[in-house]
Structure formats: structure tokens, C-alpha cells
Chain A
Amino acid sequence: MTAVDVPAVCGDRERVIGWLQEYGVYVGVAALLVFNIAFTPHFLSVENFRTQAVQVTPVLILSLGMALVIATGGIDLSVGSVMALAAAMISLYLGYGPVAAILVALVAGAAAGAVNGALVAFAGVQAIVATLAMMIGGRGLSLVLLPQLDGIRNAGIRELGAGDLLGVPYLVWVSAALIAVVAFVVRRTVFGRRLVAIGGNRRASELSGLPVRRTLLAVYMLCGLFAAVAGVLATARLQASDPNSIGQLIELSAITAVVVGGTPLQGGRMRVAGTVAGAVLMQLLVSTLIKHDLPPSWTQIAQTAVIIAAVYVARERGRR
């Protein structure tokens, strides 16, 4: 009897793991929503959702760029420092008007990404090393450019950080637009197909005539650009440029969101909706614990548990 039962159980277990890999992150988000609706006072209010959406914005935008990089089999540790670089640029170039300042910040982000990409694609440096260098160097450069916190008194920037359109904050509009752009790029463009193929098998992609290096360069540039956008938005919300503390350790939150969202760290696969859900899941988790007055250490432990669960599920899939 048992001999007959075992394979059935194994099959079920495998199916459950596979299903969790695919939809686990949505189940997590749904569970947290249900829990909060039941136990958290004032959770179901427009104001609360607005706050959550605004708070998740930087990590969400970073994780989109990060997911592109991870899908190629790389990683980008420098996104937090690129945010700081963008913040410093805003402060330095605000004299030319908010639009010019934001453009300079975005160009700086793309340039930092280009350096990462060139090191990875052309010099053959490992992604983790190249972007670690940029993580340290980018932060240092921002602090040289802007040694201390600089308050920003500019109507345009303040409007970007606090204003809304049709009752929805600009910050949320921007992240929604970027989600749409990334989803389009991944699903519909040749570039999107290429980056996933490169992550899946780089040698095969090269032999198939794909422009592997150019694609990698573009992917890291996009990631840098997205980090700069996140830096601009965070600066606008804070009404201050603070290169010292902005984006500290945020690269880890972004990587967590991507992994929890079901994009495997070894690359070859890219999930846009899952990445968004991953960022939302981590945001809800933190805010739930804070609202229930649990100390920050609990938050860290809960995050750890989610990461381990996500990696465990991914490992099971890889072993099949």
C-alpha cells in the first residue's frame, strides 16, 4: 500500500512546489491583505493605500531594473548608490530649473549603468564585482559632489513628490508607467527576448548571432536609469537631497523583491508581474508588523523568513 502511495504524494508535492513557485507571491500578498482587513484598524482606507503605494515606489522601480539584470544572469549592487548620485545631481543642477536637473540626474544614472555594463559585457568582470565597485565609488562620488543634506525648495520638485493627478500621486503614475514599459519590452520586443535567452544560455546566444555584449550593456544602462528615477522620486518626496543616507541597503530589498517574485537568480527567466507583487509583498509585510507595534528586529526576521521560503521553492524547481 505504502509503495503505491509514495509516488502519488511525491507528485503532489512537486505540483504544489511548482504552483507555489508560480503563484506563491500572489498568495502571500492576498494573505497579508486578508489579515490586515480583518485585524488592522483603518486598513481599508484610501489614505492607507495611498501611503503604501507611495512608500513602495522606490523599491518597486529598482526591482524592475534589477529583474532585467538578474534575468541575464547578472546582478546590480550599485542601485542604491546610483540613487544617491541622482539626488546629488538634482541639488547641484536645480539652478537650471527642475526639468534640467532631473534630466541630468537621469543621464548620470544611465552613465553609471553604462560603466557597469561595459565592465561586465566587454571587460568580462563578474557582475557582482563590477557593481560592487560602482556601489562604493558611486556613493563616494555623490558625497564629494554634495557633502551633506541639502534641503530643496522648488515648487516643481515638491509637486512631483507630493502632488497628484486624478487623485493618484505622481509617484504612483511614474511607477505604473515604468511597469507598463518593462512589461512591453519583455513581452513584445526582440531586445526582451534576447536578454532572457542570454541568461538562459550565453554560449548558445552568441553562436546564434545575438549581440550579447550590446544587449548586456543596454540592460545595465536601463537598470542605472531606473535607479536614477527612483533617486529623483525619493528626493522629491523627502524635499531634500541626502546622498549619505538615501538608498542605503536598498539594493538588497530590490533583489529580495525580484527573487520573491519568482525570477531565478541564475537568470534565463523574467517575471514582471511577479516582481511587482514581490515588492508589494515586502512593503505590506513591513507595514503590517509596524502597525501591530512589533519591534524592527521582528521585521527583519519576517523578511528573512520570506526570502528563505522563496529561495527554497526556487531550489525545488531547479532540482526537478
Chain B
Amino acid sequence: MTAAAAQDGAGAVGPILRTRGLTKRFPGVLALDGVDFDLSPGEVHALVGENGAGKSTLIKVLTGVHAPDSGEVRYRGAPVRFETPLRAQQAGISTIYQEVNLIPLLSVARNLFLGREPRRLGLIDFGRMHRDAARILHDYGVEVDVTRPLDRLSMGARQMVALARAVVADARVVIMDEPTSSLEPREVETLFSVIGGLRERGITVVYVSHRLDELYRICDRVTVLRDGRVVHTGAMAGLERLRLISLMLGREMAQVERQGATTFGGAHEQRAAEPVLVAEGLDAHRRLHGVSLAIHPGEVLGLGGLLGSGRTETARAIAGALPLRSGRVAVAGVPLRRRSAAAAIRAGISMLPEDRKGEGIVPELSVRENIALAAMPRLARFGLVSERRIDRVVEVFVERLRIKCAGTRQKVAELSGGNQQKVLLARWLALNPKVLLLDEPTRGIDVGAKAEVQRLVDELAAEGLGVMLISSDLEELIEGADRVVVLKDGAVVGELSGGEVSEGALMQAIARAGRAGAGGDAGADREVEP
């Protein structure tokens, strides 16, 4: 790979930024593993990879947020080691994050010139500052009163201010992390023309995004990261879409049909005629565009798609945790009238959320309190808690899910990630649901617990539960699901069932959808990367 990287693209001029053997280790994870990365002056360079591939870590090392454990960063030909993000910025490397790091209550002009205000007699020359700011922002398509506080601007305009600020600060390298995730289509066009302008001025842009269409439109070269390693560097043009996806997901096309390594059993052939869950036309502002799907009893329905395709949003919408503009959900033929988590739970929908710490466990409470949390009203009489009933339910699930704890009164925060996940599964199963939505059920848990969770999903489906499975682990998705609905930009773009469910077919479905440009406006959804 490195040989390919060296010969490609740089042209006559030497690289403005180059890393060799960059390695960064966090407790338990090798986030960067000998990364060689080159940036040429005036190129737009795509940096892609799935969750945990190391994109964020690489950016943070380049901009002085993290220090590398080993390896070298050369900037404009000389080895550098930025101690703080400020140092990197002063040297000319600016980052524009998803959540713009400007000061919301200061005026637009102050934000633009913060730290380098035009001065007269030691005081800020406000007149000149405001004139300059208006002139500069005009070039970025932002026509606003620059004396107003920044927080009155739309997200897109704020991003433009951040970009303009980077250029005002003499940036040579501008790193953009998911810049279009909060932009309207019109704003995306403006951004692209601004990026074009930067390229002409010889400024290098590192463009991080999951939207393949955008990458192909504006990027010159691409670097693909996977598990902390560079798996590909090369020109964007001529790189096939399917090949790019398979590089990101880490599946060689040849080995796609090989034997599975997960603990899922075979398909669940029993499928009742009537679906247990029907969702129709789910539409959430900029996130979902008319998603429809059905889950049958005894079936595991997988949701496929890249990061940001609307998988999590679909699950949340069904579970009543995402406000919808329109759309309806019915369980066993009965439509849900109210849209709330409580109503969905009453109807028999249980959702295991993706963010275990933030939305799952109540850390200060015991294992038994955590398991009983959602089912509490059913385990009580006249508002009084029945300890006996709780104990009975808790015992059943601790045994069935093999939750390892010092006792059911142990605080859940003291358990391992895998056991915490099992406690949450127990919480949802204690409700005796008809439909179980699992959002990344095995992320961040150890191999043993992972296998147990996968086996459990299989058992539950065999018992007649309708299961929806979201997983970034492609193997898990393919082998766990009987049927896969493919999402892109918040819309359904394909479905695989029976023998079609394979890694190759899934990747082709994702790639095909991209070219067809199916579903919604360009500035569609956004899935926050944890």
C-alpha cells in the first residue's frame, strides 16, 4: 500500500504534510497502526472509513490534540510535533468540526477575526473589521449583518464563517469533518464552490465524509482507513464505487461467500403471513424520507447501509423516540395512535439503544433495579412495588442471559460492558415484547458476550419474536438476518432476502443506490458518530 501511496498524485511539488509510521494506542485499542499519509498542496483529499477506523484519531494527531506514540509528522518539509491545537492552527492547519467551534454569543465579525482583529491606537478598529468581514463573507455566499451574534446564523452559515476564519488565519491545510451533515442542499453547493476556490489558491482540503457522491464530486484523491491502518491511497477518479465500499467495510470481493464466524444459526424458515410490525412512510426532517418496512414474527430483519444512512433513526422512529413529520407504525395490525416511547412500549415494541452508557444503563442503580426499570408498572400493584415479583423476573433473566454479577444488588456500573448489555437486554425482554429493535447490540463488548448475544437473538426469533438488527459488523448482519433492508440517505434503496443475503450483494446494493441517487435531498440525514 505504501508504495502505491508514494507514487500517486503528489506531482512535481513535494507534499505539504506527510506522516510516516504514525502509531497511537489507547487503553485496549490500537487506534492508529503505522499510518503513512500524504497531502499535496492544493488537493482535496478524501479521508474515509467506518466507525473506529481511526479517522478522528488521525485528525487529532495531525492537529495536536493527541501526541502520537511513535512515527513522524513532517509539515512543509520539516518534522513537527504540535503540542496543542493552537500551535497547529498557528502553523496553518485548521480543523472545522461538525459542531462548529466558534463563540456563539460574539458577533459574526468578532468570530471571524478573533485574535487578529484590525487595530487602531491599540483598540479594535470596529469599522474596518465590519467592512472587511462583510466583504470576505460575501465571497462565501454569506450575506448577513456581521454585527449580529453568531448564534443567529444557520448551521450552514456558521460553517462558512468557520471556513472563512480558517482562511483569514492563513491556513495551508483545512480539515473538514462531515461538513455537509447539517447543511441544506443549497448550502452544500456553496460549500463546494468555496472548496473549489481554496483549491485554486493552493490550500489543501482534507474532506471527511460518508457520502460517496460528494467524494466523487469534489475530491482528487482518497485515503481509506480501516482498523487504524491505511488500506488504500490513490486517485478518486477511476476508483470503482463498489471497490471503495469493499475497502471501507474490509471485505475482499473474492472472500465474500466464505464460511461464517458468528454464532448465528441458519435462517428462520417459519414466517407467518401477517407481519408483526409495519412501518409506513416514516419521515423525519432531513433524516428519514419515507422509510417503509415490515417485520414478521420469527424473523430477523437486518438494516444495511453505511454510517449516516438512517438506520438508527429508523429504529428510533419506530420506538417513538424520534419526532416524525409523517408516517405510521402498526403492531400486529393495530396502529399506534400516540408517538412516544411509552406508547410504543405498551404496544409491544422494545428498542435496545445504540448508546449504552448515555441512554441505557442507570449507573447508580443495582442490576435488579435496572432490569425492572421499564417493566416496573407491570411488577407493581396500586403503585406499590412488589419486591417478590421483581425478584422472580430478575432471577429468570439473570439465569437465562447468564449475567455475571456479584449479586443482583450490585451496582450496574461495576459490571463489564458485555454484562451491562445483557442487563439492558433483560430490561427489554422483561416487557415481553412482540418486536425487538437492536441497535448495535454487540458493539464494544467482549467476544464471549458477543457470541452469547448473537445466540440469544437467534433463540428469540425462533420463539416467534420479530427482531430488527442494526450492526456495523457486516458479518454479524449477514449471518444474523434473514432479510436485509438497505438504507441510504434516509430512504430504503433495496432489499435482499433468502439466498440474496450476502456481503457482496449488500455492497452492490449500497453502491448501486448511490449512482441512482435515490431518496431525498442531498443534504439529508446525519447520524452522530460516537
Contact = CB atoms under 8 A, between A and B. Distances in A.
A190 B384 contact: yes
Interface string B361-387: 111110001001110110010011100
Contact of B376 (A194, A200, A204, A269): A194
A190 B383 contact: yes
B80 interface: no
Contacts of B372: 193
Given A207-B341, A208-B374, A211-B342, A197 B369 contact: yes
Interface in A159-199: 188-194, 196-197
Question: B interface, how many residues as a size bin?
Answer: 20 to 34
A189 B365 contact: no
B269 interface: no
Contacts of A154: none
A200 B364 contact: yes
Nearest to B424: A204
A269 B362 contact: no
A112 B46 CA distance: 57
A193 B385 contact: yes
B158 interface: no
Interface in A61-93: none
Interface stretch (B13-21, B90-98, B106-114, B351-359): B351-359
A196 B370 CA distance: 11
Contacts of A200: 362-365
Interface in A260-283: 268-269
A207 B342 CA distance: 8
A200 B383 CA distance: 21
A190 B380 contact: yes
Interface in B293-323: 319, 321
A209 B342 contact: yes
A203 interface: yes
A201 B383 contact: no
Given A200-B364, A201-B361, A268-B364, A208 B384 contact: no
Contacts of A204: 358-362, 373
B286 interface: no
A203 B383 contact: no
B76 interface: no
Contacts of B346: 209
Given A197-B365, A201-B361, A190 B351 contact: no
A203 B359 contact: yes
Interface in A198-226: 200-201, 203-211
B383 A208 contact: no
B313 to A, nearest CB: 14
A207 to B, nearest CB: 5
A201 B342 CA distance: 16
Contacts of A193: 369, 372-373, 376, 385
A188 B386 CA distance: 8
B277 interface: no
Contacts of A190: 376-377, 380, 383-385
A111 B91 CA distance: 60
Contacts of A191: 383
Of A194, A196, A201, the most chain B CB neighbours within 10 A belong to: A201
A208 B365 contact: no
Contacts of A207: 319, 321, 341, 351, 353, 359
Nearest to B374: A208
B289 interface: no
B383 A189 contact: yes
A190 B369 CA distance: 11
A210 B372 CA distance: 12
A188 B382 CA distance: 11
B427 interface: yes
B195 interface: no
A274 B363 CA distance: 21
A189 B384 contact: yes
A206 B364 contact: no
Contacts of A205: 362, 373
A174 to B, nearest CB: 24
Contacts of B340: 209
Interface of B: 319, 321, 340-342, 344-346, 351, 353, 358-365, 369, 372-374, 376-377, 380, 383-385, 427
6 contacts: A190-B376, A193-B373, A204-B359, A204-B360, A207-B359, A210-B373
Given A189-B385, A211-B342, 10 more contacts: A188-B385, A190-B383, A190-B384, A191-B383, A193-B376, A201-B360, A201-B362, A203-B358, A204-B373, A268-B362
